[in-house]
Amino acid sequence: MQSAPLLRIGTRGSMLALAQAQLVQRLLAEAHGVGREAIEIKVITTSGDRLTDRPLSEAGGKGLFSKEIEAALEAGEVDLGVHSSKDLASHLPDGLVLAAFLEREDVRDAFVSVKYRTLEALPRGAKLGSSSIRRAAQMLRARPDLEVVPFRGNVDTRLQKLEAGVADATLLAAAGLNRLGKADRITAYLDPLAFPPAPAQGAIGIEIRDNDNRTADLVSVLNHAPTATTIAAERALLATLDGSCRTPIGAFTELNGVSCRLTAEILSPDGRELYRDSVEGAADEAATLGTKLGRLLLDAAGPEFQRQFKG
How many Å apart are CA 11 and CA 47, to the nearest integer?
Answer: 13
3-state SS track over the chain: CCCCCCEEEEECCCHHHHHHHHHHHHHHHHHHCCCHHHEEEEECCCHHHHCCCCCHHHCCCCCCCCHHHHHHHHCCCCCEEEEEHHHCCCCCCCCEEEEEECCCCCCCEEEECCCCCCCCCCCCCCEEECCCHHHHHHHHHHCCCCEEECCCCCHHHHHHHHHCCCCCEEEEEHHHHHHCCCHHHCCEECCCCCCCCCCCCCCEEEEEECCCHHHHHHHHCCCCHHHHHHHHHHHHHHHHHCCCCCCCEEEEEEEECCEEEEEEEEECCCCCCEEEEEEEEEHHHHHHHHHHHHHHHHHHHHHHHHHCCCC
Q: In Å, what is the CA distance from 308 to each residue of 62, 210, 246, 305? A: 17, 35, 9, 6
- Active-site residue (options: 49, 53, 79, 87): 87
- Pairing state between β 80-84 and 7-11: parallel
156 annotated active-site:
no
| Active site residue ranges | 87
